[in-house]
């Protein structure tokens, strides 16, 4: 039975060559960030670096405002996540477990805004921030990020909440707990994995956001990584690709960490939020 042996081999070869092809741009990013400047402009390019150097990383951290951008991004993404997940947890609890007028309409409104294009909101938001005198601050960006993060978190938390059986809460109520007591002791522990994965996804969204930062913030001291690193590309007279690739790698490190955490939540989180609805 030669074909019985051959089939898995071919399957593996095909799959892995596709996987490597897909991850090639990312491998190339790492390779480029480690090459010395002289090797970078070799024609044809060296596919494996002849000499490995960390000078670009060192220059990135000491000679560019990269660390300021990084700090801004951490503050921005963390604050947005805490704000939105806090609001969203209470909101989702209310949407799923309470009966009141307008509940269904509200849920559909959340879904509608989840699909809304940012460019529709960007003009009025810009005017709003200018009028409030808070344009060009991290706070204005946190508010702006709420526009996409809140509907997203609410929708995701809502579907996690729907997965918790009613009986648990009812049993606690029968035993004399108040609604909020039952929430704290019964619902919250059950919902925690959902809250964590929602928080991680929200963090990623906010970390990667570009358009609002482009419009609302224009000074280096408050720019997050996305716009900050792009200005390094645009302002440079000759583009230093290895420096930019080093910046790209450093920018992706937090995502790799989050991604590692997410592994177990991936299917549940995405299944729940994006697809099952």
By CB under 8 A, what part of segment 43-72 binds another protein? Answer: 43-45
Give the range of 49-57, 74-82, 120-128, 185-193 binding another protein by CB under 8 A. Answer: 120-128
The CA-CA-CA angle for residues 160, 162, 167, to 5°, reads 120
Q: 107 or 190, CB closer to another protein?
A: 107
CA distance 125 to 148: 13
Residues 139-168, interacting with another protein (CB under 8 A) = 143-144, 146-147, 150-151, 154
Q: Which of 52, 61, 67, 130 binds another protein (CB under 8 A)?
A: 130
Burial class (CB in 10 A: 0-12, 13-18, 19+), 194: buried
Shortest CB 31 distance to another protein, Å: 9
Whether the CB-CB separation of 53 and 116 falls below 8 Å is answered with no
* Interface with another protein in residues 257-276 (CB under 8 A): 258-259, 263, 266-267, 270-271, 274-276
Closest among 222, 205, 69 to 146, alpha carbons compared: 205
**Which pair of tokens denotes residue 152?**
């997203």
* Of positions 57, 66, 70, 93, contacts another protein by CB under 8 A: 93
- Cis peptide bond prior to 44, omega within 30° of 0: yes
Give the Cα separation of 60 and 130 in Å (integer): 33
In the complex, the smallest distance separating the C-beta of residue 187 from another protein, rounded to whole angstroms, is 12
119 binds another protein (CB under 8 A): yes
- Under the binding rule (CB under 8 A), the answer on residue 177 touching another protein is no
Among 2, 3, 41, 105, the residue binding another protein under the rule CB under 8 A is 41
**What CA–CA distance (Å, rounded) separates 83 from 76?**
11
The answer to the question of residue 121 lying near another protein (CB under 8 A) is: yes
Per-residue binding string, another protein, 216-255, x by CB under 8 A, is ---------xx--xx--x-------x--xx-xx--xx--x
Tell me: does residue 173 bind another protein (CB under 8 A): yes
Other beta carbons less than 10 A from residue 173's beta carbon: 14
C-alpha closest to that of 38 among 53, 28, 24, 58: 53
Q: According to CB under 8 A, which one of 120, 192, 236, 257 is a site residue for another protein?
A: 120
């Amino acid at each position: 039975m030669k074909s019985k042996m051959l089939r898995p081999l071919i399957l593996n070869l095909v799959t892995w060559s596709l996987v490597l092809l897909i991850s090639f741009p990312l491998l190339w990013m790492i390779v480029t960030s480690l090459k010395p400047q002289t090797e970078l402009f070799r024609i044809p390019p060296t596919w494996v670096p002849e000499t490995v150097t960390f000078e670009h990383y060192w220059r990135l951290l000491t000679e560019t405002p990269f660390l300021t951008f990084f700090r801004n991004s951490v503050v921005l993404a963390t604050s947005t996540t805490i704000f939105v997940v806090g609001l969203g947890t209470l909101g989702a609890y209310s949407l799923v477990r309470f009966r009141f007028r307008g509940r269904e309409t509200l849920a559909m409104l959340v879904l509608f805004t989840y699909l809304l294009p940012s460019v529709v909101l960007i003009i009025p938001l810009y005017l709003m921030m200018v009028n409030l005198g808070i344009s060009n601050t991290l706070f204005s960006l946190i508010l702006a990020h709420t526009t996409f993060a809140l509907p997203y978190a609410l929708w995701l938390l809502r579907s996690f909440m729907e997965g918790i059986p009613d009986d648990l809460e009812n049993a606690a109520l029968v035993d004399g707990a108040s609604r909020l007591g039952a929430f704290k002791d019964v619902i919250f522990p059950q919902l925690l994995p959902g809250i964590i994965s929602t928080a991680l996804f929200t963090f990623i969204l906010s970390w990667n956001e570009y358009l609002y930062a482009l419009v609302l913030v224009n000074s280096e001291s408050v720019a997050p990584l996305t716009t900050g690193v792009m200005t390094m590309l645009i302002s440079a007279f000759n583009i230093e690709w290895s420096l930019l690739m080093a910046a790209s790698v450093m920018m992706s490190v937090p995502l790799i960490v989050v991604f590692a955490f997410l592994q177990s939540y991936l299917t549940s989180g995405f299944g729940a939020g994006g697809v099952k609805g």
